[in-house]
Amino acid sequence: AQTVTQSQPEMSVQEAETVTLSCTYDTSESDYYLFWYKQPPSRQMILVIRQEAYKQQNATENRFSVNFQKAAKSFSLKISDSQLGDAAMYFCAYPQGSGTYKYIFGTGTRLKVLA
Amino acid sequence: NAGVTQTPKFQVLKTGQSMTLQCAQDMNHEYMSWYRQDPGMGLRLIHYSVGAGITDQGEVPNGYNVSRSTTEDFPLRLLSAAPSQTSVYFCASSYFWSSGANVLTFGAGSRLTVL
């Protein structure tokens, strides 16, 4: 079965510091997309960043970037200059199988930002 | 505001009762889906649809029914509620990209408690 694994249930980071959230996945596809979603205390799910597997370059969105290692099936999220508003649950996600749209989500990592 | 609207936001049911969670989107998205979120388990796909008249099962479909008579609406029906269905439910939609690049737009969630 294709899976997404987030091995860190909870992480803490000091304000203004950098933190990396881990995600590994298992797929037999050669071309696919990977996503990180954020869920703040409001419960609203928000897209953070998206990576296309065929692209060698790691995706970047302002303070958020990924470390994508296709061979290792690893997709880490790096948050630089952490802010109090970054405190949330973060989910790694993968749409299983081209054209099927069965999104698989990891179990999430709760990020705490310390002032 | 354009987006995904879920109703109700909160609901308490007794075991055996039936109810429908409503989901509507005004973005002309072909793809719509329902997830449940449980502590420590991330989001799990219940049912999804890639267009009016087309639905399919996700990871945890038992006890739930869906239909898609219009592009805008995708209701989720609980046929006979059980305590195991106590959860937070999310509806999500997106355009239909065969490459899997679709970014999900989520509703605000519905918290359901079954006593």
Coil, helix or strand for B83? helix
> What pLDDT, on a 0 to 100 scale, did the predictor assign at position A96?
75
B36 vs B31: CA distance, rounded Å: 17
DSSP B6-61: EE-SEEEE-TT--EEEEEEESS--SEEEEEEEETTTEEEEEEEEEETTEEEE-S--
Contact A106/B48, CB-based, under 8 Å?
no
Residues of chain B with pLDDT below 70 are 1, 96-100
* Residue A34 DSSP label: E
What average pLDDT does chain B have?
Answer: 93
Mean pLDDT by 10 residues, chain A (115 residues): 87 97 89 91 93 87 94 95 97 76 89 96
**What pLDDT, on a 0 to 100 scale, did the predictor assign at position A100?**
57
**What is chain B's length?**
115
Instruction: Kindly list the residues of chain B whose beta carbon comes within 8 Å of any beta carbon in chain A.
Output: 31, 33, 35, 40-45, 48, 50, 58-59, 88, 90, 92, 96, 98-104, 106, 108-109
Q: Which residues contact A59 (CB under 8 A, 6 or more apart)?
A: A49, A50, A51, A52, A65, A66, A68
Predicted pLDDT of residue B99: 62
**Residues of chain A contacting B43 with CB distance shorter than 8 Å:** 91, 93, 103, 105
From the centroid of its chain, how far is CA A16?
20
- Give Cβ neighbours of residue B94 (< 8 Å, ≥ 6 apart): B29, B31, B102, B103, B104, B105
Give the CA distances from residue A23 to residues A36, A75, B32, B48, in Å, rounded to whole numbers and listed in that order.
Answer: 9, 5, 25, 24
The predicted structure's pLDDT at residue B48: 93
Look up residue A61 and give its two tokens: 């969105």
Query: Which residues in chain A are contacts of B90 at CB distance < 8 A?
Result: 45
Q: Percentage of chain B with pLDDT > 70?
A: 94
- pLDDT value at position A2? 63
| Interchain CB contact of A41 with B (< 8 Å) | no
A61 vs B contacts (CB less than 8 Å): none
User: Which of B30, B32, B33, B37 should we substitute to test contact with A (largest number of A Cβ atoms within 10 Å)?
Assistant: B37
pLDDT for res B67: 96
pLDDT digits (tens, 9 = 90+) for B77-100: 999 999 999 999 999 998 866 666
Distance CA(B11)–CA(B86), nearest Å, equals: 10
Q: Measure in Å the smallest separation between the Cα of A99 and chain B Cα atoms.
A: 5
pLDDT, chain A, mean: 91
